């Protein structure tokens, strides 16, 4: 069901996640890193505590933007607006170089041949502006322009 004036594809930034969305608008991907002595792991999606050890001693860290493809699914039908106008698209889960897994979208290079998805495919983050002030990270094959 379509709700007038509501976009289902837009995140709702809050004071905690604002640094993440501001960095994305500037072309940077952030992860959270735990600084507990026995942990030190990165995580994504952003949380105020470490999901591995529950420490609250976590900070933002700029990610390298490198990842590998873990799994994907080509979506040919989606009845929720505005996704129906975007089909087909490739929903993906990627392994970030920093360790966490992240849900995202796999996009084709702007130019050059389309690369068939495969497990372990090297990827690089890029960013898509959904609307003014809202930019999301997506991934494309590494080395693609």
Q: What pLDDT, in 10s, does the model give residues 19-75?
A: 999 999 999 999 999 999 999 999 999 999 999 999 999 999 999 999 999 999 999
User: Are the C-beta atoms of 41 and 101 separated by less than 8 Å?
Assistant: no
Q: What whole-number distance in Å separates Cα of residue 105 and Cα of residue 57?
A: 30
Q: Is residue 12 part of a domain?
A: no
CA-based radius of gyration for the chain? 16
Q: Is residue 7 part of a domain?
A: no
Going by the DSSP 8-state scheme, the letter that residue 52 receives in this structure is T
Domain that holds residue 83: 18-141
Count of domains forming the chain:
1
Q: Which long-range contacts (CB under 8 A, 24 or more apart) does 40-45 make?
A: 41/99, 42/96, 42/98, 42/99, 42/100, 43/100, 44/96, 44/100, 44/101, 44/102, 45/102
User: Are the C-beta atoms of 124 and 140 separated by less than 8 Å?
Assistant: yes
Q: Is residue 13 part of a domain?
A: no
Query: Rounded to two decimals, what is the model's pTM?
Result: 0.88
The per-residue pLDDT for 109 is: 79
Count how many residues are written for the chain: 145
Q: What whole-number distance in Å separates Cα of residue 145 and Cα of residue 131?
A: 22
Q: Is residue 119 part of a domain?
A: yes
Q: Which residue has the tokens 């999606």?
A: 45
Q: Is residue 5 part of a domain?
A: no
Question: ω before 63 within 30° of 0 (cis)?
Answer: no
Q: Among residues 127, 130, 129, which one has the least CA distance to residue 139?
A: 127
Q: Is residue 23 part of a domain?
A: yes
The per-residue pLDDT for 4 is: 62
Q: Is residue 9 part of a domain?
A: no
> Would you give the end-to-end CA distance of the chain in angstroms?
37
Q: Is residue 38 part of a domain?
A: yes
Check pLDDT > 60 for residue 145. no
């Amino acid at each position: 069901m379509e709700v007038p004036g509501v976009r289902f594809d837009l995140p709702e930034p809050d004071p905690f996640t604002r640094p993440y969305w501001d960095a994305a608008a500037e072309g940077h991907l952030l992860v959270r890193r735990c600084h507990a002595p026995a942990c030190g792991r990165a995580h994504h999606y952003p949380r105020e505590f470490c999901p591995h050890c529950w420490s609250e001693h976590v900070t933002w860290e700029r990610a390298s933007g490198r990842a590998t493809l873990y799994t994907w699914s080509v979506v040919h039908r989606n009845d929720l607006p505005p996704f129906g106008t975007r089909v087909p698209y490739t929903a993906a889960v990627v392994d970030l170089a920093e360790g966490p897994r992240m849900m995202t979208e796999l996009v084709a290079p702007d130019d050059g041949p389309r690369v068939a998805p495969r497990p372990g495919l090297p990827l690089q983050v890029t960013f898509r502006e959904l609307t003014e002030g809202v930019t999301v990270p997506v991934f494309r094959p590494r080395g693609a322009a």
